[in-house]
Each structure stands twice: as C-alpha cells, then as structure tokens.
Chains A and B, each alone.
Chain A
Amino acid sequence: MSDGSDRIQALIDLMARLPGLGPRSARRAVLHLIKKRGALMRPLAQAMLDVADDARECLVCGNVGTDEICAICRSDKRATGEICVVEDVADLWAMERAGVFRGRYHVLGGTLSALDAVGPDELRIPRLESRIAEDGITEVILALGATVDGQTTAHYISDRLAGREGLSVTSLAQGVPVGGELDYLDDGTIGAALRARRAL
C-alpha cells in the first residue's frame, strides 16, 4: 500500500472506533467524505477541531458545552428549585429534546458499580449534595435507568438526601410507554405500571 492509502486506512480505523460504527460502515463513511471533500469533509474536520479545542464540562452540572457554566445553569428562568439527576449527558439532552422540564440538571457521569470500581466519589454525588444546600433546591428528580445499577444509584442518592428539610426526592414513573400496547410489554413493566396506576 502507498503512503496515501495508509493514511486513508488510518482514518478508517479511527472512524471504526466510534460508537455505532464498525469497519464496514467506517469505510463507507470515509469514501463518502472523500467524495464530498469540499462540501462535507473540510467543514467536518474544522468543526471537529473547533469542538476539540472548546468543548468542556459545565462546572456546575456536568453538561457538555463550550462554556465554563452551561446555558441551562446560567439561565435564571431555570432556577425553579428542581434538579433532575441523570446518568449521562445523552440523558440530559434527551430530556431537553422533550422540552417539558424547566428546571436544572445534574449529570452523575455513570452509575454506582462496585464491580466496575465506580463509587460515590467517582460520580458527582458529593457535588449534588452541595448544590442542594447552596441553590435552595426543593425537589430532586431521579431520572436513572431501570437497571440494577441505575436503581442502586437512585436508592443510594435518596438515602443520602433523606431527612433534609423542605426537600422532596422523586423518581420518574415506570410503565406503559406512550403509544405502547400492553400485549407487547414484559411482565415486569406491566407490574410496575399497575403499581404506579392513578385515578382518572
């Protein structure tokens, strides 16, 4: 292989390390980029360079942006006294896409897992506790996964926050998805939905 194709192969190998891409899709993506060199590849390379220089975690909530403090934490309108605790930035962005939550966030950066050596100090749990005291928070909404690790983390946080005056700790409901049919749900979900039923 000549020098040039070695560099292309190196690019393909790097692309193949991205989540959701494998060697084959990486090859397709690179060929596509080469064909659209001016319209796509150069702007993409520039955008990646810019973000690589500027991207950073918000010092308050852990959201990823280009500022020291993210727009959500800066906005006074979002000081509703509610904090939504999520596992990852992707979850925060999912909540924001839904556009229904008006408060602020706290990104833990993972879930408790003794087997993976992730403890409370590896997550932003101490920072969450200090935020609650400093920002006059009245409700902590735990929006964590319905997995063993997610639920362990939720139990853990609610235990650590128990007994704080004027603070309620809630979690997202589990049950029938919007547009879902009962017939396709697993027993666990149906059980959770039934336990969380409400009067109409």
Chain B
Amino acid sequence: MYLTRLELSHFRSHRRTVLDLDARPVAIWGANGAGKTNLIEAVSLLSPGRGLRRAPAGDLVRRQEAIGWRVGAAIRSGPEVHEIDTRAEPDHGRSVRLNDKTVPQATLARVVPMIWLVPTMDRLWIEGADGRRRFLDRMALSFRPSHAEASLTYEKAMRERNRLLKDQVRDPAWYGALEAQMVEAGAAIATCRAEAVARIQQAQDGAQTAFPVSDLAVVAPEGMPELSPTALEDSRPRDMAAGRTLVGPHRADLLAVYRDKGVAAAMCSTGEQKALLISLVLANARALKAGLGAPPILLLDEVSAHLDAARRAALYDEVVALGAQAWMTGTGSELFADLGARARQIEVVDASGESRIRA
C-alpha cells in the first residue's frame, strides 16, 4: 500500500506540486515554513476527516489565488491502483472522488489505512482526554473502517439530544428514540476501540523493538455508568442541568502505562512519552500488516524531535522493515542521513511565497 503519485494544486503554500513515488519511505526536509507539513497534510486528506491539522476545508486554500484547492493521488494496493481526488471550492465543504466516482469521505478509510503522529500530539499524555480519544479512534478506524459510520451516527444522535437538553424539551419518546440509536452506535464504538487496543497490545507483545512497550486501557470517568437505555434515561435530569450528555463513549479515555517502569505515560519524561507514542504507532502498523497483508501509510511529522540518534536510527530501521511508506519531515537533511537511499529524499524550499520541490 503506497502512493505512486501525489498532486497538490493551490493547497496551502503549494501552487502546484507533483511527486512521483515508489514504495520507499519519504523523507522531507527543509527550513521552517517551507511547506513540509503541508505536503503530508495533503496526504492526510486521503483519509476521512479534516486531516492532521484538523483544519476546515476553507483554511487549506492558497491565499494568494483563493480559488479552491485540490489534492490528487494514485495509490497502489496489491495489484490494484486507486485514484483519489479530493477538493474544495471556496465556501464549500470538501468533496471526494474515488476512481472517478463521487463517494462519501468515510469510504476512504476502506481504501487507504493511514496513521499519523504530529508534534501537537507530543503533549497527548498530559493534556485532556479529547486528544487521546481521537488517537484511539484513529487506531480503531484503521482496523475497522465501519468505526467512522458508528462515530458519525453516535455524534449526530448526541448533538440532537444535546439540543433537546439545552431547549429543555421534555418529550420522553423523543429522547428515547435518540438514545436507542446512541446505545446501538455506542456499543459498536466500544467494541471497535476494545478490539484496537487488544490488537495493538498483541502486536507490541510479539515484537522486537527499540521502543518501549506500554499497557493500554480504555477507561470511563469515575462513577459513569455503562451506556444503556436506562443509563441515558436516568441521566436526563443531570444532563439537562449540564446542557449536554454526560454518559457515553464520548467521555472515554485512553490510559497507557510504561510497562518496564510501571509508570503512567503522563509521568514519563518528554522523550519517553514521544517514544511511547511512536511505539504504539509502529505496533498499530504491524498489527495492520498482519491483518491486511500490507502496512498502512504512516505520516510522522517532525518525528525526530525529542529522539536521540540511536532511537532515530532504530525508528528508521523499523519503518524500513515494516515496508511502510512512511512520510517523515525534519528541518535538515542530516536528520535523514541514516536512511540514505532506503528512503526517497525530498527537499522543500520556499521560493517567494511558493513551496517548491528540489529534486
């Protein structure tokens, strides 16, 4: 599974950029602001959602022309080649075409399994549960694409219910109808998450790796009952006072414990926290490879920050051994010297406000 071609048109700092690629990892280096992360952000839009910066479609456009943007890619998956085209015109959401047919975004999860790690996730273990939940859901999505539909159904039904709560509506049948759907979708979400954690745990246990192993658990806030029609019904008065739903998988958290040290991830050093994250991403990739027969696309933005030279070399070795097309960015070519010809090396430069690729 790898991109053979990537085309950016009027996407952030890139006016027009075309890359022809092979299965090797891609090492992208250049000065701050040259447009490295924009490249991998474009790749991240080949999966459902808002991409690795979580930006609205309108923010992705190149400001100078402001005529809308387009990202095109050809992806080889075994003997098949899929063509993906995603774009947004000004004031419109993004549309997705797969092999010349318009498809819902969620379809992309079935075509391109993808996992990413970005610098904002460096604080994942010490900040709020939101980020950890998103990380968990990305992993769950990579194993089971239907996780996207279950999440959409759950969120839509919950938004509807939250509106009833805010408007102080007291129609039990209306609540019941929404809660029935939340319970069904919520159960599917919980199953997918548990499966993802189990598979990643298994992939960590069975691997020779330079990265630390962690024990994972999906936990609910203390005192929160398990999601059920009765739990939601009982929670209505409390929820109405709060103006939002207080019971359900949208409040779950992901906990990790550094196994060898028996220390919670949040208490580890900055470097260890990053190593734990990388370890999980690699384990996720290995588990997917074992299940699908092909590793996912990996996007590792500024991955070498906080890693010492030995860990960096170990990361490159593991990525190459996985056979994954890992897109990695860094400020200087020396960061990727260990990779040499094992990776496609790309320099991005700024040419008067426009990103260019120097071959």
Name A residues whose Cβ lies closer than 8 Å to a Cβ of B. Answer: 112-115, 119-120, 148-149, 151-156, 159-160, 186-188, 191
| Shortest Cβ distance from residue B119 to the other chain A in the assembled complex, whole angstroms | 34
Q: Can you pick out 18 interface pairs between chain A and chain B where the beta carbons lie within 8 Å of each other?
A: A114-B161, A114-B169, A148-B153, A148-B157, A149-B160, A151-B181, A152-B177, A152-B178, A153-B177, A154-B177, A155-B176, A155-B180, A155-B181, A160-B173, A186-B149, A188-B146, A188-B149, A191-B146
Q: Which of A114, A156, A191 contacts B163 (CB 8 A)?
A: A114
- Chain B positions 145 through 156: 1 when the CB is less than 8 Å from some CB of chain A, otherwise 0: 110010001001
Q: Kindly provide the distance from the CB of A72 to the nearest chain B CB, expressed in whole angstroms.
A: 28
Nearest-neighbour CB distance to chain B for A123, whole angstroms, equals 11
Residues of A within 8 A of B177 (CB): 112, 151-156, 159
Chain A residues with CB under 8 Å of B161's CB are 114
A115-B159 CB under 8 A given contacts A148-B181, A153-B177, A159-B173: yes
Which chain A residue has the least Cβ–Cβ distance from B153? Answer: A148
> What band does the interface of chain B fall in when counting residues whose beta carbon is under 8 Å from A?
20 to 34
Q: Nearest 7 CB-CB pairs, A to B? A: A155-B177, A114-B163, A156-B177, A159-B173, A187-B146, A148-B156, A152-B177
CA distance in complex: A149, B180 (Å): 12
| B145 contacts across to A, CB distance below 8 A | 187
Whether B171 is near chain A, meaning CB under 8 Å from some CB there, is yes
Binding site for A on B (CB under 8 A): 145-146, 149, 153, 156-157, 159-161, 163-164, 167, 169, 171, 173-174, 176-178, 180-181
Contact between A152 and B160, CB atoms less than 8 A apart? yes
Contact residues in B for A149 (Cβ distance below 8 Å) = 156, 160
Q: List, in ascending order, chain B residues with CB within 8 A of A148's CB.
A: 153, 156-157, 160, 181
In angstroms, Cα B164 to Cα A187, docked, is: 31
Cβ–Cβ contact A114 & B173, under 8 A = no
Report yes or no: B180 in contact with A115, Cβ–Cβ below 8 A.
no
